[in-house]
Chain A
Amino acid sequence: MPKNNNLITVSKLIPTKSSHVVLGTAAVPAGMTRYVTMVKATQVQGASGKGSRVYFCSAAASGTGTNQTTASAIQKLNLAIPSAVISAAPTSAPTPIVIKSRQVPAMSDSENPLFTIAESKWFTATLSSATGASSPVNVFAQYYDQ
């Protein structure tokens, strides 16, 4: 695949549980494929103690996949951010270390996509509604259409 330099990045906030955002301004144009090269989800809350799960989806319409059940069915990838990660073996009172970001892959490479979205489909992201998995997140995606 020749290198596509027309990389598009999008960063969006998903502020409430079971809500979704469209990544990109429109559906994938006819005759093209959307190559997603990197996705990242970062929790936006300051305090620890809550997790998040984000589904990155290939949706038939911009409004499809707006809840956890439908998003799970059309997911291309999901990222789970734990509520916290303990800093040491819990022999006494462990100190939580807040790791609030997940990224796949660790290094982006525009010539080697992570997954694809077919023509006419929409690239969307949905935040879970499950208790402990619905803390607001900022999602970042890098892609190109070719």
Chain B
Amino acid sequence: MSIVTRGFTGRRRDDPKLPPGQYLEHTFPVLQAGPTPPVKTSTWKFTITTEAGAATSWDWKRFTALPAEDITTDIHCVTQWSKLGTSWRGVSLDTLLDGIETSAGYAMAKSYGGYTTNLPLPDLRDGKAWVAYSYDGKPLPPEHGGPARLLVPHLYFWKSAKWVTGLDLMKHDKQGFWEKLGYHDYGDPWREQRFQGD
């Protein structure tokens, strides 16, 4: 069903880089469910736990000593804004997952402050996902997920968990924080998968 809204003409912003239903944003809005948790790099830890329970951890020093990549990418928030050509620096999940034995199909990203979000593990591989610690040439600010956040720009941005502290690899998919509250399990902006059932 679609009805024309009388009197609405809108502004044409037909940028082919904008997924359906998105508008172009020039600032960097902050969206989160609660207060920004204070996370110190001196105690920061990132842990990948396999479905068999084997854990691999990095402290800040070891993590930032890993080979890093510069990433320029568009990001898309489910609240309808998109930001084009954002610059990040971070460690590829391919690097972090290298040598970890798993046959898991899914991952639950876990954050300081208790936030969680679920993703298929293949979406974290092959140069599609990073743990980013720098934005626009500067250390990632706390309100944008600093010191480090997940960056999975081909999915809606709630999947790019702020203040990330680990991944639990899972045989079967489980829902994270927003997914349990009705948001989509996958969240492809080009298919407009905002909510369950989309």
Question: Do these two chains really belong together in a complex?
Answer: no
